[in-house]
Amino acid sequence: MMRNQQLRQNQKEAIRIQQVTQAEKNYREAERLKHEAEQHRQMINLQRDNETLKNQNMKNMIRANKEEALEQRLVQKEQKRLQQRADLIRRINEENEKRMQIEREVARLEAEEAEWIRKLQNTN
């Protein structure tokens, strides 16, 4: 009977040890799963933050490109205006030069005419 009692006691102890061991395994597995879940959440947050940063950088790049294009159009418009002004000034100067040449030719012809008139008057 003592032996049965000892055997039962040993079986109970073995069951208790097995339960404690299983509880420790379960605890370690639960901790591992918690840690893995936390790492997964952190990875998702990091990916979301990276995506947000990428989107913000893309928005900034698009905005900068639009501003640069606008500035370039304004510069081109100003260059065109200055070129048109320079062309207008050149044409005005050309017209003034032609007018002055015509006036000089008219003055020369008037002087020649006056000389012929004087010569004709002196021959009489």
Distance in angstroms (rounded) separating the CA atoms of residues 15 and 21: 10
Q: Does 1 have pLDDT greater than 80?
A: no
Model confidence pLDDT, tens digit, residues 12-67 = 888 989 998 999 999 999 999 999 999 999 999 999 999 999 999 999 999 999 99
**Range 68-88 average pLDDT:** 98
Q: Say how many domains are in the chain.
A: 1
Range of 44's domain?
A: 1-124
Residue 58: what residue type? Answer: M
What pLDDT, on a 0 to 100 scale, did the predictor assign at position 7?
84
Residues 6+ apart with CB under 8 A from 111: none
At residue 123 the predicted structure's pLDDT band, cuts being 50, 70 and 90, is confident
Model confidence pLDDT, tens digit, residues 21-33 = 999 999 999 999 9
Q: Read out DSSP for 22-52?
A: HHHHHHHHHHHHHHHHHHHHHHHHHHHHHHH
Residue 55: what residue type? Answer: N
**Structural tokens at position 116:** 């012929």
At residue 84 the predicted structure's pLDDT band, cuts being 50, 70 and 90, is very high
